[in-house]
């Protein structure tokens, strides 16, 4: 259940280059937090200079619309999965971290939909400190698990998986009064199910200049550019009207503040322009618009915390195809009786069908997700969770409209 909300949250910035840079920064920050929160002794296995932690899980779920279509079919699904974390302190300050979460979906009645997946957040992160400069090298990979994780995609089957792999580097310089950051990322999007959708490659350049107003407040300017190319299975566009490439540029401002020990806020906003290399056909309309994102993380008390994210974005975050979407997510988590954790995520997003024209007459969709999960430890190493999720998508296009109910039971074992 959490995978859908995580997938939605990746749209945290205004366009492709900034979105990818933000995802890489979040992965590096997560790895750093993991290192700071755990001593090497808390890992399962020590292999030479590296420390490893392994965990496994088994899920069992019922899905009443596995094809996300207006003619639903249901099935029971087994989902074994394996997670691993690796930390290698190469030197006192430089470290290499690996995070990987992979699994397999086994459909008990419709084996044609069996599939592997890799959850978002999997990949490598290598931090290098040179004086006042922090360099991060990274490689992130994901394979979407379910078709509703690609909102707006024409469905009718569960085979709408795509692979995204991002390789890049960023450098942050601490100059006291100013904190400049530059980055480059090469991103590949590859369809694993259909040849009608082109594979996509984007070269992404980002830069920002931050000004620490106080120890807990930073404001600044940001910008980015992307060079995007599409390749079709036949080597040429599906028709003479389909484009083979595009560029995108953006500029804006940002602000981060740790308001209190328990409340933090991030804001981004600016202008983005998408420029295809054709004036007719699929993806062919220029898109000049504002982007924004705002997020709040609040630890209300020892029992309750929540985060809220909202924004508008034009990027390739769904199926490697450009789309403009507006989104909002609300994720509250409550701890009851020191054992039970209750999560009730809610998400909404709307946008144009990926791969369609960005004009005002393009097909649009609205997707709403709500869920609840209750988890608790069974033993020191074994935990369980029970959840329910409802997804509804509406559109003027019949093949984009559907509803899904999912009931799931998950077991997780920490070695």
Average pLDDT by consecutive 10-residue portion of the chain (415 residues)?
37 63 68 54 78 93 88 93 92 89 94 89 92 92 75 58 90 90 93 72 94 90 92 56 79 94 94 78 66 94 94 78 88 91 95 66 85 95 96 83 94 91
DSSP letters for 382-411: EEEEEEEEEEEEEESSGGG-EEEEEEEEEE
| Three-state DSSP state, 362 | coil
Q: How far apart are CA 157 and CA 68, in angstroms?
A: 7
pLDDT for res 43:
74
pTM of the entire predicted model: 0.83
What is the tally of structural domains in the chain?
1
Torsions phi, psi for 400 (to 5 deg): -100, 0
pLDDT for res 251:
95
**Per-residue DSSP letter, 115:** E
CATH, residue 23: 2.40.160
Torsions phi, psi for 43 (to 5 deg): -80, 160
Distances (CA, A) of 130 to 94, 208, 259, 341: 9, 19, 31, 42
Q: With contact defined as beta carbons under 8 Å apart, do 369 and 341 qualify?
A: no
* Domain hosting residue 319, numbered range: 2-414
């Amino acid at each position: 259940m959490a995978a859908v909300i995580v997938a939605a949250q990746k749209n945290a910035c205004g366009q492709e280059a900034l979105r990818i840079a933000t995802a890489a920064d979040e992965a590096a920050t997560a790895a750093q937090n993991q290192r700071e929160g755990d001593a090497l002794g808390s890992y399962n296995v020590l292999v030479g200079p590296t420390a490893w932690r392994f965990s496994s899980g088994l899920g069992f779920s019922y899905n009443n619309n596995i094809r996300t279509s207006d003619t639903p079919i249901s099935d029971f699904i087994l989902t074994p999965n394996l997670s691993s974390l690796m930390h290698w302190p190469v030197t006192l300050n430089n470290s290499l971290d690996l995070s990987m979460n992979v699994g397999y979906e086994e459909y008990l009645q419709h084996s044609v939909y069996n599939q592997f997946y890799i959850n978002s957040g999997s990949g490598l992160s290598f931090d290098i400190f040179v004086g006042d400069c922090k360099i991060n090298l990274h490689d992130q990979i994901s394979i979407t698990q379910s078709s509703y994780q690609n909102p707006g995609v024409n469905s009718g089957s569960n085979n709408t998986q795509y692979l995204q792999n991002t390789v890049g580097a960023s450098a942050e310089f601490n100059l006291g009064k100013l904190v400049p950051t530059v980055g480059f990322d090469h991103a590949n999007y590859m369809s694993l199910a259909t040849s009608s959708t082109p594979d996509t490659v984007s070269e992404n350049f980002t830069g920002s200049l931050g000004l620490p107003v106080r120890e807990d407040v930073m404001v600044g300017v940001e910008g980015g550019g992307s060079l995007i190319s599409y390749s079709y299975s036949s080597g040429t566009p599906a028709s003479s009207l389909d484009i083979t490439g595009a560029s995108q540029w953006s500029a804006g401002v940002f602000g981060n503040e740790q308001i209190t020990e328990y409340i933090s806020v991030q804001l981004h906003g600016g202008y983005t322009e998408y420029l295809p290399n054709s004036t007719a056909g699929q993806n062919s309309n220029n898109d000049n618009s504002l982007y924004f994102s705002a997020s709040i993380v609040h630890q209300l008390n020892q029992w309750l915390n929540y985060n809220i994210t909202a924004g508008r974005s034009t990027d390739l975050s769904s199926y490697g195809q450009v789309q403009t979407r507006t989104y909002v997510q609300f994720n509250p988590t409550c701890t009851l009786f020191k054992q039970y954790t209750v999560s009730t995520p809610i998400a909404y997003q709307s946008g144009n069908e990926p791969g369609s024209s960005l004009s005002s007459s393009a097909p649009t969709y609205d997707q709403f997700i709500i869920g609840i999960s209750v988890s608790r430890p069974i033993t020191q190493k074994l935990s369980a969770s029970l959840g329910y999720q409802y997804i509804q998508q509406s559109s003027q296009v019949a093949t984009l409209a559907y509803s899904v109910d999912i009931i799931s039971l998950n077991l997780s074992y920490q070695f």
